[in-house]
Structure formats: structure tokens, C-alpha cells
A and B are shown apart, each in its own frame.
Chain A
Amino acid sequence: KNQVEQSPQSLIILEGKNCTLQCNYTVSPFSNLRWYKQDTGRGPVSLTIMTFSENTKSNGRYTATLDADTKQSSLHITASQLSDSASYICVLHNTDKLIFGTGTRLQVFP
């Protein structure tokens, strides 16, 4: 069983709509939880970093939440744009390792 599971695996939305991506984890303890965006053919780029004591972190239209009790994180994208089409990866920093989820593939259509 993966230590970091993401849902849905893929998602299609229309431009301008909001969406929420989910991340459930079993990693414990951890230093921080990150959301990365990976465009096709490129390396992942960090969107947000939250320590285990933080509940929410925003970066423009991206808002990440963390519930340490339920071991869940979400990434909410507001007013989606075509450029948001990418894979979104939830990553936990455990000691000196990054543990990656398998990602959610988001496609935004006009």
C-alpha cells in the first residue's frame, strides 16, 4: 500500500471552474507536506510547503490544506486556467526523504 495516495487519478474540468485534489497519507512523522505541479515534459515545481502544524497555505489561485488528525491534504484550484493542465503531486518530507504520491492528472478544457 502506498504511503501517499492521491485522488482522483485524473480530472477534466472546464476553464474557469474550481477543483479540489485529495491526498491521503500514512507517513508519520513528517517534517512537511508539499504540493508540486508537473507540466508535461518538465520536472516538478513546488507550489506550497506546509509544516505538520500548519492548516492552510495559499499561493495565488492554489490553496493547500492539511488535516493532521485525518491525515489528509487537499489542493484547491480556483478559477482554473488552461495553463493549470498538469500533474499535481503530493509529497511528504519524512526525515531526509521525499515520499511521492502518484499524482492527479488535471486537464482544463476551454
Chain B
Amino acid sequence: DAGVIQSPRHEVTEMGQEVTLRCKPISGHNSLFWYRQTMMRGLELLIYFNNNVPIDDSGMPEDRFSAKMPNASFSTLKIQPSEPRDSAVYFCASSLGQGAMNTEAFFGQGTRLTVV
């Protein structure tokens, strides 16, 4: 398996534009997580899905952020409209099972978003 695949790797956009980040989890994993990483705040969980259903979106910062998981092999994180303070690296991770004690989360390589 190629691991968790994210696209694009880098995104530069102008303030106000819509940004869509994409993630393909590891085949067979049924939990998917979106994280944001900044120097100041480290890694923050935005939302996670289990069996394609959003379980906890309390980390989504504002209504400008939305995430979908239409099927087991694809998820998107959308920011509309984007703002400079959204600049960060966005990671997608997947794992097998929900609440399993020793479940390991595998991370993608991230999308570095720059909003100018």
C-alpha cells in the first residue's frame, strides 16, 4: 500500500479563494483524521470520521471549514473563503478501528497551504 495520499503537496492561493485539500486513506482503514499543524500550536485535530461518518468536528475552527467523506477511499477538506491565518500544513491520517487501544494512525505527507 502506498500509505495515506494527500494532494496537493503545496498550495498557494489568494485570500478569499476556495481551497480544497484531498486525502486517500490506506485501504481497509475505517477512521480518517484531518489535522492542522503550525509552529505556534503544533498539531490540532480538526475533524475525524469513522466509517465515512463525521464523529467529532469540534476542532473545525469556523464555518469556513468543511470536510466530507463521500466514500471509504476519499475525503476532502474545504476552506471557503480562505484567509492568511489559515496558512499551515494540513495532515490527513487514517487508522484501523475506532477506539481500539493499540490502533496506530498513519499520516500522509501533508499539504502546505499558504494564503497570501
Q: What does the 1/0 interface line of A89-102 toward B look like (CB < 8 Å)?
A: 10001011110111
Cβ proximity bits B74-106 to A, threshold 8 Å, 1 near / 0 not? 000000000000000001010000110111111
- Cβ of A51 within 8 Å of any chain B Cβ, yes or no, is yes
Contact flag A49-B107 (CB < 8 Å), given A95-B99, A100-B43: no
A-B contact count (CB 8 A): 52
Beyond A96-B48, A96-B55, whether A46 also contacts B42 by CB under 8 A is no
Contact B43 A89 (CB under 8 A): yes
Which partner residue on chain A sits nearest B104 by CB separation? A46
* Interface flag for B19 (CB, 8 Å): no
- Contact-residue bracket for chain B: 20 to 34
Q: Given contacts A43-B107, A43-B110, A45-B107, is CB(A100)–CB(B102) below 8 Å?
A: no
B56 at the interface (CB under 8 A from A): yes
The answer to whether B45 touches A98 (Cβ under 8 A) is yes
Interface mask (A39-51 → B, CB under 8 Å = 1, otherwise 0): 0011111100101
Rounded to whole angstroms, the CA-CA distance of A34 and B95 in the bound complex is 14
What residues of chain B lie closer than 8 Å to A42, measured between beta carbons?
A: 109-110
Nearest B residue to A42, CB-CB: B109
Question: Is A96 a contact of B107 with CB atoms below 8 Å?
Answer: no
The CA-CA distance from A32 to B48 in the complex, in Å, is 18
Minimum distance in angstroms from B61 CB to a CB of chain A: 16
Q: A102's closest neighbor in chain B, by CB?
A: B42
A33–B28 alpha-carbon span in the complex (Å):
24
